[in-house]
Amino acid sequence: MKEFVISEAQAETAVLVGLITQTQSERKTNEYLDELEFLAHTAGAVTVKRFTQKVNGPNSVTYVGKGKLEEIRAYIEAEEEAEREIGMVIFDDELSAKQLRNIEKELKVKILDRTSLILDIFAMRAQTANAKTQVELAQYRYMLPRLQRLWTHLERQGGGSGSGGGKGSVGLRGPGETQLEMDRRIILNRMSLLKQRLAEIDRQKTTQRSNRGRMIRVALVGYTNVGKSTLMNLLAKSEVFAENKLFATLDTTVRKVIIDNLPFLLSDTVGFIRKLPTDLVDSFKSTLDEVREADLLLHVVDIAHPDFEEQIQVVEKTLADLGCGGKPSMIVFNKIDAYQWVEKDEDDLTPATKENMSLDDLMKTWMARRNEDCIFISARQKIHIEELKKTLYDKVRELHVQKYPYNDFLFEKYEEEDA
């Protein structure tokens, strides 16, 4: 705990910016910003202030309106005068090259958006050659269309006028563009090298996978921080890294799990998140192959999270994008130990909302909707784990018999084994 405090004192400070629009209510925006704050915290930054603005849609030039941008700048300047340096401003949506350039010019601090923040965390988390290569490629993909910005920045320093205004000062325009061209070429070369490397890793992984024998493959999927790795550790008795931060897992881990006499492969995968650009998802292709090639998906949900329903949708949408929409799947509602709800007074006649649902009611609703394909557990407190194993056993067995019909010797059940 102490460590945490010390690092907070030294951490960079962040200001968050989000929009309230016709399609994104104030409540939603605040939830998004909560998540953005959690992302910032994961990256090592402390959020000191949030700005929101009600608009019809993002401004194509500056994302927020001009007045709001001035308000943010005034805030940063006031803080700086009070010797409280603002490290960065983080925008909740992906910014275009143009927006980024204009905002940077106005605010004169480091500007991040949700995508670059996530990439930063990925870079910090990447452990294996595979993950590192994937992240580097994704970073260049993000950078390439925004290169202009780097150049503008250099030009401003080189020009030394200090005003930072104007488009390409006279005399610098030529060399600047050459520089830009060179940067582009270097990056493109590097990208094709990374792609080759990934293709090589892909080939190795495919061979590895085909050597795994006749076993059903089960993949843990879900939103980030729902407890996939914790469940993996429990089922596979392994020690995959789990912690209360986002994207603790970047690399897929595969373990052999045996329930009774039935072996299968279980893999733990990278978590999903809202507003994750699809080309970023694409960069993690070889990580996600594990999901694509799975026979059964265990969709883990954090039932204690106020937004779990939207998280389910995000995961289902991402799975559909990956072409896994129709796969056999099961929902595992995790963290039932942490579930909280507000009991309504009897004389309270306002309609019950989802906050007023007891765990029992919630379970009934979902059971009715999903049949036996959902289960409620706590991976941390080890609640209902036996039920989960039983359900998993039945499912995997069913799939195994379909896929490997001649391999049924596995399924002699020994009655005396009842423990």
Output 68 or 228, the one with its CB closest to ligand GTP: 228
Instruction: Name the binder of 334 from ligand GTP, Mg ion, none, CB < 5-8 A by kind.
Output: ligand GTP
The candidate with the shortest Cα–Cα distance to 250, out of 112, 94, 130, 115, is 130
Sites for ligand GTP among residues 205-244 (CB under 6 A) = 222, 224-230, 242-244
Instruction: Choose, by CB under 5 A, the member of 42, 62, 102, 229 that binds Mg ion.
Output: 229
Strands (E), 245-354: 253-259, 262-268, 296-302, 329-334
Q: At what angle do helices 66-81 and 97-107 cross, to 10 degrees?
A: 40
Strands (E), 26-159: 45-54, 88-91, 110-113
Instruction: Choose, by CB under 6 A, the member of 40, 248, 314, 374 that binds ligand GTP.
Output: 248
Output 52 or 378, the one with its CB closest to ligand GTP: 378
CA-based radius of gyration for the chain: 25
Instruction: Name the binder of 379 from Mg ion, ligand GTP, none, CB < 5-8 A by kind.
Output: ligand GTP
Site string for Mg ion, 176-215 (x = CB under 5 A): ----------------------------------------
Look up tokens 């910003």; give the residue: 33
Instruction: Choose, by CB under 6 A, the member of 136, 308, 378, 395 that binds ligand GTP.
Output: 378
- Asked whether the beta carbons of 37 and 112 are under 8 A apart, the reply is no
Output 133 or 229, the one with its CB closest to ligand GTP: 229
Site string for Mg ion, 241-280 (x = CB under 5 A): -------xx-------------------------------
- Asked whether the beta carbons of 328 and 297 are under 8 A apart, the reply is yes
Interaction of residue 311 with ligand GTP, rule CB under 6 A: no
Rounded Cα–Cα distance for residues 16 and 89 (Å)? 6
Sites for ligand GTP among residues 43-72 (CB under 6 A) = none
Q: What are phi and psi of 336, to 5 degrees?
A: -65, -25
Residue positions counted in the chain: 419
Residue numbers at the binding site for Mg ion (CB under 5 A)? 228-229, 248-249
